[in-house]
């Protein structure tokens, strides 16, 4: 818990009150009661599209002040961290303004609508020396930290293969209408959720160097909007299968699929090494499967999250109690406040998020050109 005698006030300015906005607000509200932080988060200001929405949101989510002008929020002296949960197309202008104001920037994924835009954002942030963080919250899971420790320590030997997937069913219905997701700026399934498994692959095994992908549009037309009779052409993928080669030579595959009937959150992987393997699915986010050893007692073991997997113990003092999705966001903002106060990169930051976006675009290019594509930016 916060030692208030020494703590620094950290003013939070939140832009947006949708699902992610509320998720951020709750995380900033809970984090001090759960973590020993070097700074005390204060919900300073909320921005929404209208004054009325902003006022109601501020009341409900516990912000001190509100505004309908996001630039004013960014410029406000009481705001130290700008949290961006606005539509993707606004990420760049908002982040650029926050960087210009010297603020720490906490942006939802994807970082932007194109890699070119993301590159501008990364370069501006690094030139300004501000702390950045991008909301790939699934990486914050204590079981993913455990997986990374197992993989990077050599505990399962040399890594020999990666098999990853992010499959959900939210666009499985052909009658699911167009939205920002199916807009070319949304980037399709490979951008929307493929980015999560790409970020995971990079976090656990390293940079992806080459890809050969097949982006499939299952439903070439969808209703133009909710309940619309008019149909509109879809130009993005519903499902992408990709072959990948990591920079270190390891091969594998990745699938992104938002039309995977029966799957709710199969953000999953199996990483094989010469001496063992780990496997995970977000559908059972409090479990990691580990294969190690050999002989008559060997088998995949189901490790359940508990206090021996930090920072689980911040939430519950005993195993078996389980973290939920919203808790991952709390861990993310705890890391963010740490980096904001004490400095250092808050991974995954803009640089990392750019690499994810470049990998996504390499998959799209590969599919169009039906060939292997080298991911740009390697060795940047």
- 326 in Cβ contact with 26 (< 8 Å): yes
Dig out the tokens for 309 from the structure: 């997997």
Place of tokens 């498994």: 197
**Number of Cβ atoms within 10 Å of the Cβ of 139:** 22
Asked whether 379 and 207 are in contact (CB, 8 A), the reply is no
295 binds its own copies (CB under 8 A): yes
Which string of x and - marks every residue 49-68 that binds its own copies (by CB under 8 A)? Answer: -------xx-xxxx------
Number of residues that this document lists for the chain: 380
Q: Binding residue for its own copies (CB under 8 A) from 80, 108, 183, 327? A: 327
CA distance 267 to 8: 37
Of these, 139, 189, 239, 363, which contacts its own copies (CB under 8 A)? 239
- The CA distance from 329 to 41, in Å, is 14
Residue 19 binds to its own copies (criterion: CB under 8 A): yes
Identified binder of its own copies from the candidate list 103, 241, 340, 351, rule CB under 8 A: 241
| Tokens 């932007």 belong to residue | 112
Which DSSP symbol is given to 100? H
Among positions 189-228, residues that touch its own copies (CB under 8 A) are: 212-214, 216, 218
The answer to whether residue 8 forms part of the interface with its own copies (CB under 8 A) is no
- C-beta closer to its own copies: residue 128 or 218: 218
92 or 238: CB nearest its own copies: 238
Inter-residue contact 283 to 264 (CB < 8 Å): yes
Give 191 or 259: the residue with its C-beta nearer to its own copies. Answer: 259
Between 127 and 318, whose beta carbon lies closer to its own copies?
318
Sequence-separated (6 or more) residues with CB below 8 Å from residue 376 = 115, 358, 361, 362
How far the first Cα of the chain sits from its last, in Å, is: 39
Q: Give the Cα separation of 5 and 324 in Å (integer).
A: 31
Which lies closer to its own copies via its Cβ, residue 102 or residue 299?
299
Q: Is position 304 an interface residue for its own copies (rule: CB under 8 A)? A: yes
Contact in structure between 62 and 29 (CB atoms under 8 Å): yes
Fill in the per-residue mask, 20 to 39: x = in contact with its own copies (CB under 8 A), - = not in contact. Answer: --x--xx--xx-xxx-----
Least Å distance, CB 260 to its own copies, is: 5
CB of 322 to its own copies, least distance (A): 5
What are the C-alpha distances in Å from 200 to residues 28, 54, 147, 195, 266? 24, 34, 11, 8, 13
Q: How far is the CB of 228 from its own copies (least distance, A)?
A: 20
The residue range among 68-76, 222-230, 305-313, 353-361 that interacts with its own copies, by the rule CB under 8 A, is 305-313
Query: Hey, which residues between 110 and 149 contact its own copies (CB under 8 A)?
Result: 146
Binding status of residue 161 toward its own copies by CB under 8 A = yes
Applying CB under 8 A, among 144, 259, 353, 362 the residue interacting with its own copies is 259
List 39, 186, 207, 252, residue binding its own copies (CB under 8 A): 252
- Report the residue from 102, 226, 233, 274 that binds its own copies according to the rule CB under 8 A: 274
Stated as kind and residue range, the H or E segment containing 188 is: helix 188-192
Measure the CA–CA gap between 221 and 231, rounded to whole angstroms.
6
Stretch that binds its own copies, among 80-88, 221-229, 244-252, 342-350 (CB under 8 A): 244-252
């Amino acid at each position: 818990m916060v030692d208030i005698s020494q703590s620094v006030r950290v003013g939070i300015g939140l832009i947006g009150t949708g699902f992610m906005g509320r998720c951020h607000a709750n995380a900033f509200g809970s984090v001090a009661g759960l973590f020993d932080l070097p700074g005390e988060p204060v919900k300073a200001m909320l921005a929404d599209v209208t004054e009325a929405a902003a006022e109601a949101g501020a009341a409900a989510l516990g912000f001190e002040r509100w505004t309908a002008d996001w630039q004013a929020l960014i410029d406000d002296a009481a705001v130290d961290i700008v949290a961006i949960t606005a539509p993707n197309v606004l990420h760049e202008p908002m982040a650029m303004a926050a960087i210009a104001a010297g603020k720490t920037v906490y942006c939802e994924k994807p970082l932007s609508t194109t890699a070119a835009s993301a590159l501008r954002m990364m370069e501006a942030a690094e030139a300004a020396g501000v702390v950045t963080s991008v909301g790939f919250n699934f990486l914050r899971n204590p079981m993913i930290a455990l997986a990374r420790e197992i993989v990077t320590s050599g505990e399962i030997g040399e890594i020999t293969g990666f098999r990853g997937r992010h499959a959900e069913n939210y666009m499985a219905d052909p009658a699911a209408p167009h939205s920002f997701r199916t807009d070319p700026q949304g980037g399709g399934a490979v951008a929307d959720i493929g980015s999560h498994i790409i970020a995971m692959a990079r976090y656990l095994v390293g940079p992806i160097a080459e890809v050969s992908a097949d982006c499939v549009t299952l439903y070439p037309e969808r209703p133009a909007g909710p309940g619309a009779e008019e149909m509109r052409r879809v130009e993005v993928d519903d499902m992408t299968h990709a072959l990948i080669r990591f920079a270190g030579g390891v091969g594998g595959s990745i699938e992104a699929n938002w039309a995977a009937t029966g799957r709710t959150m199969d953000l999953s992987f199996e990483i094989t090494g010469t001496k063992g393997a780990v496997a995970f699915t977000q559908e059972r986010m409090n479990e990691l499967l580990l294969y190690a050893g050999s002989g008559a007692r060997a088998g995949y073991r189901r490790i359940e999250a508990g206090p021996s997997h930090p920072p689980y113990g911040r939430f519950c003092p005993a195993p078996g109690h389980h973290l939920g999705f919203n808790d991952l966001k709390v861990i993310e903002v705890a890391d963010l406040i740490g980096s904001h106060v004490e400095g250092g990169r808050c991974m995954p930051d803009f640089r990392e998020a750019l690499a994810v976006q470049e990998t996504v675009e390499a998959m799209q290019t590969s599919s169009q050109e039906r060939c292997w594509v080298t991911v740009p930016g390697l060795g940047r």
